[in-house]
Amino acid sequence: DMEDLAGRCSDLLTGEPQWELALYDSRRTAPALFETFVQRLDAFGDRVSVRRFMAGTNSNSEAFRADLVMVTADSLSMITEAVAAARPTLVVGADTYAGPRRDRSELDDMTSRGLIARSKFCDIAPATLRAVTVPPRVSRPAELSRLLQARGF
């Protein structure tokens, strides 16, 4: 799956020479898997930056300055953080990935509310990324608290 995603990212960078990509792993990302992903994009030099997860730090906070946050579908925490930061968020999943029912429900809800867009790896293209909209910027802490409580958080 990471090979497929690396291939799509490579295609994007080849087709869009002004674009840059910042890669972030997480504490659950297998180091060897992430390293293979990174190596597939080495040819793009400075256009690809890599930020490794560091326990005890806010290691992914810079991601929320991005023009677009593209997050794999298995990282619900990163997805909700990107939405909370009011960043355009594209949730991408491997072509065969379904994910747990609870995650699918969460993603369906966020999609229906216009908070995220979704794509399979095979459908990632410049037009897909350009179509992702900025989620509503209105702060609604009471609504967020109710949603989190209803979801068992």
Tell me: pLDDT of 88 over 80: yes
Which residues is 36 bridged to in the sheet? Answer: none
Taking 90 as the threshold, does the pLDDT of residue 134 lie above it?
Answer: no
What proportion of the chain, given as a percentage, has pLDDT over 90?
23
pTM: 0.77
- Supply the pLDDT for residue 57: 61
Single-letter amino acid, residue 18: Q
Tokens of 58: 């806010």
**Mean of the per-residue pLDDT values of the chain:** 85
Tell me whether residue 28 is exposed, middle or buried, using C-beta atoms within 10 angstroms of its C-beta: 0 to 12, 13 to 18, 19 or more: exposed
110-140: buried (b, 16+ CB within 10 Å) or exposed (e) per residue? beeeebbbbbbbeebeeebbeebeebeeeee
pLDDT tens figures, 7-51: 999 999 999 999 988 888 877 778 888 899 899 999 999 999 888
* % pLDDT > 70, the chain: 93
